Amino acid sequence: MSTEIDYYELLECSRDADDATIKSSYRKLAMKYHPDKNGGCKDHEAKFKAISEAYDCLKDPQKRAAYDRFGHAAFQNGGGGHGGNPFGGGADFGGFSDIFESVFGEFMGGNRGGGRPQQRRGADLRYDLEITLEEAFHGKDTEITVDVSSACETCSGSGAAPGTGTRDCTVCHGHGKVRSQQGPFVFERACPGCNGAGQIIADPCTRCRGEGRIDKTKTLAVNIPAGVDEGTRIRLNGEGEAGQRGAPAGDLYIFLHVRKHALFEREGTTLYARAPISFTTAALGGEIEIPGPDGKPNTIRIAAGTQSGREVRQRGAGMPVLQGRGRGDLVVRIEVETPTRLSARQRELLEAFRETETGDECPESQGFFAKIKAALG
């Protein structure tokens, strides 16, 4: 560093902070000032390098002890400021790429510790499948066809021609990464000789050209359980994209979409239906039948005097519980329909009925007009 700012101050920690506190503070600051998140801002890049250097020192018990005792002088005059290291072994300030990877490695997929590079599993894939409400009710076994890269059968996914193998890359010596130093900082990147694989194929498979995988159309069996809903996800393990050169395959995720139904609307396991009835059925009572998604009729009893908007609930006539027992309910919303086409006889009967009305037949409307009269004095 060109200016010697206190490492604890850079990490916004007290000198007696424990390791967990220091790491947590670094993670927060690293995410804030990382160059990739700030459009290459030079000030943020300099800040990121500074906090990375501070964290690299304070995370190491020996370095921290030396810093607490001697300050920055512990790493000067051959002590590690520019290529030295008071604890031996050359430059030890692994640059900000190295440090960032050690803390956020689960997101960056890096390989720490100088060992051989880990195989990277194939990518997960998504498949969208539309089904009917009836299929969601009963469940079904079906087949889907997907285009996906699969392990090459000729080389068994290794990428090497049958009878041959791989050897360590002469550039990275099998590590998959190379390092370069700029001042006190060490930068790490994928090896250009093997593209980060660590291994070189001397005689590539002629079918997959050394990739270890080929594009293929596969037909897969899918079991859709009863009770699935919009957005339900089904995972087929290992049916995603094949990994390179024998690495594990990813998974295939099937997202279900339930087609809009002509009669029912659904909320969880509850089904809703609208049922228009005649005004005589509403007045006198009766029964109507609503076919369920299982194909069986549900008898809905209409009480005498039912008003438009009333909801009648039929217990256990809804959708099945996914991976459970029982069913939800069917809720029928009653809508009383006023007749628009009357025969002469029907009109005659209604006129006769109107002559017998006293107002007590419809107490709600009678009360409403009474309120209007009262309001008008």
- 3-state secondary structure (DSSP) of residue 371: helix
282 confidence band (pLDDT: 50, 70, 90):
very high
- The structure tokens 């519980």 sit at 321
Chain centroid to CA 374: 61
CB-based contacts of 332: which residues, under 8 Å, 6+ apart? 272, 273, 274, 275, 290, 300, 311, 312, 313, 314
What gap in Å lies between CA 273 and CA 373, rounded to an integer? 38
4 confidence band (pLDDT: 50, 70, 90):
low
Question: Ranked by mean pLDDT, which of 81-95, 107-121, 231-245, 351-365 comes out on top?
Answer: 231-245
What pLDDT score was predicted for residue 337? Answer: 92
What pLDDT score was predicted for residue 42? Answer: 76
Q: What is the mean pLDDT of residues 93-114?
A: 44
Phi first, then psi, for residue 117 (nearest 5°) are -65, 140
- Strand 270-278 and strand 330-337: the pairing is parallel
> Closest by alpha carbon to 254, among 230, 277, 235?
235
Q: What does the radius of gyration of the chain's CA atoms come to, in whole angstroms?
A: 37
Residues facing residue 188 across a β-bridge: 179
- 87 has pLDDT over 80: no
Residues facing residue 167 across a β-bridge: 200
Question: Ranked by mean pLDDT, which of 37-46, 164-173, 288-297 comes out on top?
Answer: 288-297
Higher pLDDT, 25 or 117: 25
60 confidence band (pLDDT: 50, 70, 90):
confident
> Closest by alpha carbon to 137, among 237, 51, 73, 228?
228
40 confidence band (pLDDT: 50, 70, 90):
low
Q: Mark the binding-site residues, compressed into ranges.
A: 152, 155, 169, 172, 191, 194, 205, 208
- 25 has pLDDT over 60: yes
- Strand 286-291 and strand 297-302: the pairing is antiparallel
What pLDDT score was predicted for residue 116? Answer: 55
- Strand 286-291 and strand 270-278: the pairing is unpaired
18-to-8, 15, 30, 53, 66 alpha-carbon distances in Å: 12, 9, 18, 18, 16
Q: Mark the binding-site residues for Zn(2+), compressed into ranges.
A: 152, 155, 169, 172, 191, 194, 205, 208
Residues facing residue 172 across a β-bridge: none
Question: What are the structural domains of the chain?
Answer: 7-108 (1.10.287.110), 116-157+206-260 (2.60.260.20), 166-201 (no CATH), 269-376 (2.60.260.20)
- What are the pLDDT digits (tens) for 248-280? 889 999 999 999 999 999 999 999 999 999 999
38 confidence band (pLDDT: 50, 70, 90):
low
- 21 has pLDDT over 60: yes
Q: What is the mean pLDDT of residues 216-227?
A: 93
- 198 has pLDDT over 70: yes
Q: What is the mean pLDDT of residues 324-348?
A: 93
- 230 has pLDDT over 90: yes
